[in-house]
Amino acid sequence: MSETRLPAWVRTRSIALATMAFAALFALDACTDNDSLDMTGPVSGLNDEEDGNDSRIYDQVEFLGNPLVSEVTIAKANHDEYNRTQPYNTAVFGAQSLAFINAFRGGQPVVANTLGAVLYPDMLIVESSRNPATSGWLSWALANGWGGRNLSDDVVDAGLSAIFGKIITATGAFCDNFTLPLCTDNVGANDKTFSNSFPYLAASTP
């Protein structure tokens, strides 16, 4: 029997195609087998490798639930530790927030007690059984509202006014709500119009 030999360029191309196909199958297998990640909390080390899962590492580097909790009421030296914590670490950090508030409103414990109750656990809360039209930051606790946070909410002014102003009580307040010197950041509105489509944020500046 005579042997039919393919031209050299055909053999080379066939080998290259087979190599690429094998590489693609290997990559697909790696993606499907090892990308099941536990995202229930910050990961500081490798997952258990006994089952062949050698997933990549994720590090939590910032934690911002309710505005101003970490930026205003947590000691600056503890910010990095706070950024790596979880919302339910009230026992560790709640005392720091209360101490800060009491330093200014020590004669009005209702302020510290009220804010402590609504800011910890440090997460945005939505009461879905209530009317969505009543949405707004902390409205779930202070106004029997839906909660959450609207893009238009001036959360900085609201937070400062709750701590230093008259939102909770006028007794011992340092300023009128949403006014200088302590109850506003003096930024009246967003500098750009919000979008009418998801994700609704204003376009970034080029």
Give pLDDT < 70 ranges for the chain.
Answer: 1-54, 206
Model pLDDT, residue 137: 93
Model pLDDT, residue 12: 43
Which residues on adjacent β-strands are paired with residue 25? none
SS3 letters across 114-129: HHHHHHCCCCCCECCC
Phi/psi of residue 23, nearest 5 degrees: -65, -40
Rounded CA separation 86/24 (Å): 40
